Every structure is written in structure tokens, then in C-alpha cells.
Structure 1
Amino acid sequence: MIWRDTNVRIVLSAISLAGIGMGINILALGQILFHLTGSPRQFALVLALQAIGALCTLPFSGPLVDALSSRHVHLACSLVRAVLVLAMGLAALTRPPHTVALLGVGAVLLAGCDNIQRSALFKFTAWHIAPAHQARLNGLLNAAVQVGALLGMAVLALFVSFGPPAVGLFVDAAACLLAALLMARARTGRPEVRDRTAGAFRGAGAAVWNDWRLMYRRYRGKPIVLVVLVLCAGDFVFQSGVSTLVVPLVGEHYGGQGTYVSALEAVFAAGMITASFFSRYTLSPRLLPLWAVLQAAAALALAYAPSAPAHFATLFVAGFANLTSITWLLTTVQQQAGYEEKAKMASLRMLTIGAATAGLLPAIGYAAQGSLAAGFLSVTAVMLLFGLVALPVAVRYRPRPAEPKPVGALT
């Protein structure tokens, strides 16, 4: 029974807290930037800059995490994130000169920290959660993020009703600290077998390059793995696109009321949570193109849907499809990586997500400058493209046998 695992309970609780912070952060930052600039393009630009910042850390984050304790890295990232979010909240409240630029810098640093933390979580669950529980846990992790995000959105809606959204960033900082306290209690058993070839501490770029070169040689004969890594980007581009466009959507259809921003994002999250209960039936490579097409259809509907019921129903379906796709792709990437390169495989996954976000979000933001419908149509086109890329996986992917855990890993 998965719930008997102490680490499962700790990780899910910590991720729920992190989800509260992230639910507040992305909506608060979007509203703050929209109020400061009056344009969704600025928020799209910040999201693209975050992706670029993440790309700068990814070549080193995988070897770094593979050479260290995943629990310690995860805990340290929570503490750093708390400091960064606190500083961004203070900047948004006091509005010093160049506030938008300062928030952009903070968001970039936050993205780098978040990606290192995701690599650490990827490695931690691969090492310290039984293989039979990993697919179920990945679905629950995404659901936990969304449950936390729902609570965060409710908190932010309360703040927006009585005060500025910037105050919500302080709640994000507090959630990060509580998540760090929880991860400090996680059970790791014996020390992890670490990648001693990792060049994180040798300070030589050539050593890090050698780590990646060896990994590339190991997987170059498995093109389907590279396709799966590319597909990981699609669902996150869709999420970022929705977050970019939901504020102007509310401005156009709901008179700019901040509570509707939270409500629409909450329905998307509710669709994701619902999907986690059906994972045993929906996690199949054969269905990957379907989930991409459903997200494309949702964006198309949002471009022209005139009423609130249509908006809410569409976002619920989109959330269901989004989480189902994310869960299968994450579990597959996790299972494909060897035990000494879990974090590097996580970094490759985040690399494709960051590259796609940096390349596509500015285009979505630019399209939205013309009209809200054009912005959503650009998201539709992107998801149809990912649906085409998913077709070879649906036809050709075959799961590989699970790799036995080395001594030191929990079973």
C-alpha cells in the first residue's frame, strides 16, 4: 500500500506546500506585471526569460545532483527559493525603480533554483520510492501540486479582495520554509550511490561535458527516448500559455475581476486532480496524441467561447489531458535513466521544457498582442504539432524492463 510509505507521505505533503506557493506565485506575478505594464506580452517575456535562466543551469544541475544527496539539494533549494520569493514580494510592494526588471531577474533566478530542485526530486523518488509505486506517485505528485495550487489560488483571491497580490508572495516564502522542514524528515536509508564521474566539484567544464557526452552515447541508439524527452515540453508550454492568456481572458470577458483568474486556474487544476484518479486506465503511449489534441481543441474553444460555462468546462478537460500526459511522460523518462544518471535525465527533460518555453512563449505573447483569439490559436497550433510528434511514440514505444536498484536504494 503506497500510503504506508513514510517517504510518500512526506514528499506529497512537501509538494502540496510547494504547490500552494507556486499557485500564488504564478498568478500573483502575472497580475502584478499586467497591472504594471497593461500587457500580457511582458508576462510571456518573463516566462521566456525564466526558461533561458533554467537552460543556463541545466548543464550543471544534473551532474551536481547526481554527485550529492538528493534530499539535501532539495532542502537547500527550498530555502533559497524562500529568500528569492520574499525579495520579489518586497520589490512588488515597494515598487523601486525598474521594478519590472527586478521581478524579471528574480523570476530567472527562481527558475534556475526550481529546476535544480526538480532534478533532486526526480532522483529522490527514483532512489527512495519502490518501483511499483513510482507511476502512481508521479500522478499523485502532480495532483498534490494542483491541490496546493487550488489552496494558493484561494489565498490569493482573498488577498486580491482586500489588498495587493504582492502580499501573496510572502505566503509562498512561508510555504517554501515548511516544505524544507518536511523534507528534512525524509528517510533515505543507506547513502545513495553517487555518480563519481560528475564534474560538479572539479570546476572543469570539460568534465561536465564528458558526463553529457557519455550519456549521449548511451542513448543515441534509442531515438524514441529522445522523442519522449521532446514531448515533455508540450504540456508545460500549454500550461504557460494558459497562465499567460488567462489574465487578458478575464479582462475581456469578466471585467478584469481578479477572483475569476483564480477560479479559471482552479478549474484547470481540478481537471488535473481528477485525472490522477484514473491513471491506471489512461497512462498509455497509445493515448499520447489524444491528450495533445484535446489540449489543442481546448485552446481553440477558448479562442471563441463566449460564456463562462464554456470557459470552465474547457479548462477542466484541458487540465485532465495535461496531467495525464505529464504523468506518463515523467514516469517513462524516469524509468529509462540509469541509477547513476537520474538527475542528468531530469535535466535533459527540463532542458527540452526550457528550450520550448523560451522559443514559443514570446511567439504566443506576440500573437496575443494582436488579439486574445490569436493568442489561443497560437497555442492550438503548438499542441497540434506536439500531437504529430507523439504519433511515433504511440506506434513504436515498448516499455523496457525495470532496472534493479543498486545496494543503498529503498525497495
Structure 2
Amino acid sequence: MNAIFADRKARTMLAAIALYSVGFGLHLLALGLLMYQFTGSAKAFAMILTMQAVVAVCVLPFCGPLVDALESRRVYLVCSIARAAIVALIAGISVLPLPHRVPLIIAAVLALTVTDNLQRTAQFKFTAHHIHGASLVRLNGLIGVAFQAGALAGMALLGVILLVSSPSVALLVDVAAALLCALLVSRIRVRNSSENSSVLTSALLWSVLTGAGQQWLQMLRNFRSDAVVFGAIVLCAGDFLFANSLSTLVVPLVEEFYQRQTWYISALEATFGVGMIVASFLVSHTVRQRLLPLWIGAQAAAALVLSYAERPAVQFFAFAIGGFANLNSLTWLLTALQKRAADSDKAKMATLRMLAIGLGTAALMPVVGHASETSLHHGFTAIAVIMAVFALGSFWVALAFRTPPVDAGVADADDLDDATVK
């Protein structure tokens, strides 16, 4: 732990992620609230998440090869600045008396999807290249802490802002957070890195676009005798679907049980974040390959509890357990895939992971949205059933996943578990 905080690159990236997540915590709930105010339906926000997933599926095949050809720090920096500009545009659209505001906001959110996916790919590549060994598991757990601490601050700040102002004002805080994130990342100095650091030119961009197919084919050939890797990639979709589904249904949940007191939206989401933060301090005991089915199954159980619970204490408890389990499964899958990818394929592995998340969201969020239109009970039940299916698939991954030998630059699966207890 001390070694990570002594590493300036890791320390600065953690701070940048925390800042980014302050804006994310504000942005996600503020956008959901805006869409609910404009349309009166949770289905509208579910539709946005679905469309984001479709756009992600279209752009991600090119994100991996592009980021693999560039320096990850620079990509992260440019994407932070782009995020600030796009969120500022969304805030402006939401307050101006423009026709067709909802389609305009959707278009801006889809543009944000492109920059966000490039940024996440760059983050995956940066940590995989610059943090090594057992520290990688620790760092991924601390990234969870940084992200959730920032998101909690953002959600709490949203509750305060909503008492005196509007969701549109809250989006401006996201703009400021993204700009500060860019400033921090600009101060990171990377030397003697094994990653590519080419400058983006039209020739490089054309080479990436035309050669992406061949790069993907080569990477997929490397995994053709190890299909369980694809199983682990698919499971990543479950964690994100669970979190996005709770964010989608928390607004109608507050509408039904909390007399439309909007600060409860932040309170419930914050409880989910607290569960994740608690889990991130226990990764040395909980992030284990053999426990993967337990954590994904616990998310299914939390959703099932929410489908029947009417008492606030039970609902808050389910959100906390959901967050705790979500962090554990997410951290193990992220670390395992980072270790499994070769140096030249780090960003493409990140892309495969996000493609699975995008495809899973595009295919399954409409199911959750449609079920929630029938009733809140049906919405949470749909989440529970979906996560139960992911939990069944996780048994295969827990039993069969292996990483390459140590001489290939990564630890084997047993070492990955052992690294969490050091």
C-alpha cells in the first residue's frame, strides 16, 4: 500500500480518477433526473443507456488499436478536456428554451460515449503498463476507493445543489471536475515506458482504421485455445449492468417510497458506494477467483430483495450489499484480464471488456426498462434473473481461468489470488 502511494504516477492517477468520479456521480444522477423531468418515465434514461451501449459497440473495435498506438496518458488528458466541453453543452441545452431538447441531449450524451470509452481504454492501458505484480490488485482496489469516494462526494453534492438549484447547475460541477482531472494528468511524467507513444497523425489514424481487423484477428487467435478468457470478458457486463440498472430504477424507487424527496436518490446511491468502499479495504481477503460466483450471486440476491422490500432499512441494506459484491467481482475480473493480455494487446483487452459491457447493456437494459414500465417489482426482478444467469456462468470462470506463465510477464491464476494477500 505504501509503495503505491509513494509512486507519483499511481498517486496522481488515483487523484484524477477521484476527481473524474465526482463529476460522474453528479452527471449520472443529474442526467437521469433531467430525463425523468422531461419525459416522466424511467424508460427514457434506460433508452439512453441502451443507445450509449450501441455507440460503444460501434467505436470500441477501433479504440483498442488506436490507444495501443498512442501514449495512454495523452489520450486520457485529451478525453478529459473533451468531456468538459460536451457536459457543458448538455447543461446549456437543458436550460435553453430550445425545441427537441431531449434528442439534442441524447446526441451530446452519445458523443460523450466516444470520449469516455477512449478514456477508459487509456486508463486500463496506463495501469497495466506502469503498475506491476501484486501492486496491480492493490491499485485496482484503490481505484475502486478513489472512484467511489469521488462518486459519493458528487452524489452528496448533488443533494445539496438540488436543495437550492437544478440538475443543470450540477452538470457544471462535472465540467470543472473534468478540467481539474485534465490538469492533474498533464503533470504525470512517463519515462522508459514499454508502451507505444506515437503522435496521432492522419497517416497513423488511417493505418489504425484499416489495420484494426488484422490486429483483432491476431489477438483472437492467441485466445482460441483458452475460451474461458472470453467467459471472463462476458462476465464484466454483469457488474456494469447491475450498477446501471440500480441507477435507472433508483428514481422511480424514490418516487414510490420516499414521497419524491430527491435527496434520497443521492442517499441510496451513496449507500451503494459505501458498500464498494468497504469492500475495497478488504480486497486482500475477498478478491479471490474461487469467490467470484458468490459475489455475482450476491448482486442477484440484492436485486431480488429490492423487488419485494418496502421498508427503507431493507432497501438501503440491499444497496450496500450490492455495492460490496459489485466491487469484489469487478476488481477480480479487471485484474485477471489486465494480467492475461500481452503488452501489445493491453488496450485491445480493455476494448474487448468494454465491448462486452456495451453489448450486454444494449441487449439487456431494454429488458430492465420494459419490465420497470410494468412495475418497480418487475424491474428489480428482471435484474435479479439476469444476474443469476451471470452467476451460473461465473462457476466456469472460477474453475478454469488461468493466466500465462510468469516468464510471459504475468502471474498465473493462483499467483493472482496469492497477490491479494500480500
Q: State the partner residue of 1:392.
A: 396
- Structure 2: which amino acid aligns with 1:334? Q
Give the whole-Å Cα distance in 2 for the aligned partners of 1:109 and 1:38.
24
Q: Is the 8 A contact 1:86 1:170 kept in 2?
A: yes
**In structure 1, which of residues 37, 56, 59 is the aligned counterpart of residue 58 of structure 2?**
56
Matches of 2:235 and 2:251 in 1, distance apart? 27
CA distance in 1, matches of 2:383, 2:151: 22
Match of 1:408 in 2: none
Which of 286, 293, 297 in structure 2 is aligned with 1:289?
Answer: 293
State how many pairs are aligned. 404
Correspondent of 1:267 among 256, 264, 271: 271
One-letter amino acid of the structure 1 residue matched with residue 118 of structure 2: I
Counterpart Cα distance in 1 of 2:140 and 2:86: 27
Amino acid at match of 1:12: L
Q: Is the 8 A contact 1:271 1:317 kept in 2?
A: yes
Amino acid at match of 1:86: A
- CA drift of 1:221 comes to 1.1
Task: Select between 393-402 and 172-181 the one with higher mean Cα deviation.
Answer: 393-402
Asked if the contact 2:129–2:195 (Cα under 8 Å) also holds between the matched residues in 1, the reply is no
**Correspondence for 1:207 among 194, 205, 211:** 211
- SS of 2:206's equivalent in the other structure is coil
Deviations 1:29-66, CA, capped at 9 Å, x for gaps: 00000011110000000011111111121011101100
Aligned to 1:409: none
Q: Say which of 193, 196, 210 aligns to 1:194.
A: 196
1:378 matched to 2:382? The reply is: yes
Please report how far the alpha carbon of residue 95 of structure 1 lies from its aligned counterpart in structure 2 after TM superposition. 4.3
For residues 191 and 109 of structure 2, the distance between their equivalents in structure 1, rounded to whole angstroms, comes to: 35
Structure 1 residues 263 and 293, CA, compared in 2 at 3 Å: closer, same or farther? same
* 1:208-247 equivalent positions in 2, closer than 5 A: 208-247=212-251
Distance in 2 between residues matched to 1:10 and 1:377, nearest whole Å: 41
Deviations 1:232-260 (A, max 9, x none): 11000001100000000000000111100
Partner of 1:96: helix, strand, or coil?
A: coil
1:2-401 residue pairs with structure 2 within 5 A? 2-194=4-196, 201-203=205-207, 205-401=209-405
The Cα shift of 1:129 comes to 1.7
CA distance in 2, matches of 1:306, 1:382: 22
TM-score, with length taken from structure 2? 0.93
Measure, in 2, the Cα distance between the counterparts of 1:282 and 1:12: 21
Unaligned runs of 5+ in 1: 406-411
* SS of structure 2 residue aligned to 1:201: helix
Q: Identical aligned pairs, as a percentage?
A: 45
Q: Distance in 2 between matches of 1:200 and 1:92?
A: 38
The counterpart of 1:404, out of the listed 392, 401, 409, is 409
Give the secondary-structure state (helix, strand or coil) at the position aligned to 2:205. coil
Structure 1 residue 202 displacement after superposition = 2.8
Partner amino acid for 1:259? W
One-letter identity of the residue aligned with 1:124: F
Displacement of 1:201 after TM fit? 2.2
* Paired letter, 1:293: G
Could you say if the C-alpha distance between residues 342 and 103 of structure 1 is closer, same or farther in structure 2, counting changes exceeding 3 Å?
same
Q: For residues 267-303 of structure 1, give each alpha carbon's deviation from its aligned partner in whole angstroms, at most 9, with x where no partner exists.
A: 0000000000110111111111111111111111111
Q: Where does structure 2 lack aligned partners over 5 or more consecutive residues?
A: 411-422
Distance in 2 (alpha carbons) for counterparts of 1:339 and 1:99 = 44
* Range moving further from structure 2, 156-165 or 88-97: 88-97
CA distance in 2, matches of 1:27, 1:354: 20
- Report the AA paired with residue 409 of structure 2: P
1:288 and 1:171 map into 2 onto residues whose CA distance is 36
Q: Structure 1, residues 346-392: CA drift from partner, whole Å, max 9, x if none?
A: 00000000000011111100100000000000000110010011011
Q: Which runs of 4+ in 1 moved over 6 A?
A: none
